[in-house]
Chains A and B, each alone.
Chain A
C-alpha cells in the first residue's frame, strides 16, 4: 500500500470514528441515576421470597410441609409447624423465618413449593446495618407480599 493510500485510510477511519462518538454523544445515556430513577424489574428476575395469603380466607397458603426448607441450599428458611393443645399437627406454620443474610436468591424454594405459597417480590432495598434485621418473620414476609408485585410464582413462571 502506498503512502497516499495509508494516509487516506487513516483519515477515513478517523472520520468514521469521530462520527460514531459524536453520534453517541447525542443519544440518551444508558445509565440510570439510581435513587432518583429506578429501572423496572424484569419479569422472572429474582429478589426476595415472600409468603402469599389466600385472599378468600385471609390465611397463608403455606401448609408447613417443609419442602422449601429442605430445598434451600444455604438453609436460610426455618419452619416450625403449628401444633394445637392436644399435640395434633396443624397445616400452617407457627414460625416461618427467612434469613436474608444467608439467602442466595436461587428461587429453589419457590420451585419446590407445591401450594403456590411463595413468590418472588419486586423488593430489593432491604439492606440494614444490623444482621438481625435481615431475619424476616412470617408477618414481615406477608407484609412484603402485600406491598409488592410478583416476579416469579411457585411452580414456575405462571405470571
Chain B
C-alpha cells in the first residue's frame, strides 16, 4: 500500500510540476522575446508582470472546440497528443533533483532518458499521419529526419561524460562532479554538441523546420486545436525543461553548489540553461532542411566521435 501511495504521490507531483513549469516557461518565453524585441510582453491580464497570461491562455484553450478533420485516422489522431505527453512525463523519473532526491535512481538513467525521449518522434509521426493533411505529414517527415539525425550526436556527446564519471547513473555522474569539478570545463566540445543537438531535438528555432509556419503552417499540429494542441505545447515546454536539466546534470554539476540546498541549485541552473535556449531562439533565423542535415551528419557527428576518442585517449594515458 505504501509503495502505491508513494507512486501516486510521485505521479501527481510530476504532473503538477509539468503544469506549473509550462505555465512559467510560456510566460518567460513571451517576456524574453518581448524584451529582446524591445517590447514589454504580456502585461494586461494581471498578476506581477502579467504572469496570469498563461492562465488566460489555458482557459481559452479549454473553451475551444475539439475539431477532428474529416478523413483523419481516428485513433492515431486522438492518441498523438497523449503519446507526446508520455515521454515528457516519464523522463522526470531519473532527474537528479537533489543530493538524495531522485524519483527513481535507475542504474541506466542516461540510457533511459535518451531512449524515452525518442518516443516523441512516434507522437509527432502519429499526429502527422493521422491528420490527413499534407502540411502535417510534411512537418512530421521533417521532424522524423531531424530527430533521427540529431539523436545520434546527442547520445554520442554524452559518452565523454560517461567515460570520465564511469557510470550511467545520473546521481553518480553528478556526485563525480563534486570531487572532480564540473565536466563542462573538460567536455566543452561535448557540451556544445549536446546543446545544439538538444535544441534540435526540441524542434526549437533555429531548428524548428518541423513547424516552420512560413512554409507548412504549423507542421504536425496544424489540425489540432484546444486542449489537444495544448498537450503538445505542454510536452514541448516540459521537454525543454528536462533536456536542460539533463544538460545541467551532465555538465554543470546538477545539485552541486555552495550555501543553497541542492534542489535550488538544480532548478536555478536549469532555468539559466532554459533562458539561454530562449535567447538562442529569439536570435537566430531558421535554417534550411539540407543545412540542418549537413550540420547533423557532417559536423556534429564527427566532432562528437572525435570528442569520445580524445577523452578516451586522455583517460587511458592518465
Q: Which residues of A contact B (CB under 8 A)?
A: 7, 14, 17-18, 20-22, 24-31, 33
Contacts and interface: CB of A to CB of B under 8 A. Distances in A.
Interface in B259-311: 279-280, 282-284, 299
Contacts of A18: 279-280, 283
Interface string B98-141: 00000000000000000000000000000000000000000000
B38 interface: yes
B40 A22 contact: no
Contacts of A26: 35
Contacts of A7: 299
B35 A17 contact: no
B284 A24 contact: no
B38 A29 contact: yes
13 contacts: A7-B299, A17-B283, A18-B279, A21-B279, A25-B32, A25-B35, A26-B35, A29-B38, A30-B38, A30-B39, A31-B39, A31-B40, A33-B43
A72 B4 CA distance: 82
Sort chain B's interface into a size bin: 10 to 19
Contacts of B299: 7
In the A-B complex, the 9 residue pairs with the smallest Cβ-Cβ separation, listed nearest first, are A21-B283, A25-B35, A30-B38, A21-B36, A29-B38, A17-B283, A31-B39, A25-B36, A29-B40
Interface of B: 32, 34-40, 43, 279-280, 282-284, 299
Contacts of B40: 29, 31, 33
Given A14-B284, A18-B279, A18-B283, A24 B37 contact: yes
Contacts of B43: 33
A33 B32 CA distance: 18
A20 B284 CA distance: 11
A18 B195 CA distance: 16
A28 B32 CA distance: 13
A26 B36 CA distance: 8
A54 B10 CA distance: 80
A31 B38 contact: yes
A151 to B, nearest CB: 27
A89 B283 CA distance: 70
Contacts of A25: 32, 35-36
B113 to A, nearest CB: 27
A102 B277 CA distance: 51
A25 B40 CA distance: 10
Nearest to B299: A7
Contacts of B36: 21-22, 24-25
Contacts of B38: 24, 27-31
Nearest to A6: B299
B177 to A, nearest CB: 26
Contacts of B37: 24
A152 B290 CA distance: 58
Given A21-B282, A25-B32, 17 more contacts: A17-B283, A17-B284, A18-B279, A18-B280, A18-B283, A20-B283, A21-B36, A21-B279, A24-B35, A25-B35, A26-B35, A28-B38, A29-B34, A29-B35, A29-B39, A29-B40, A33-B40
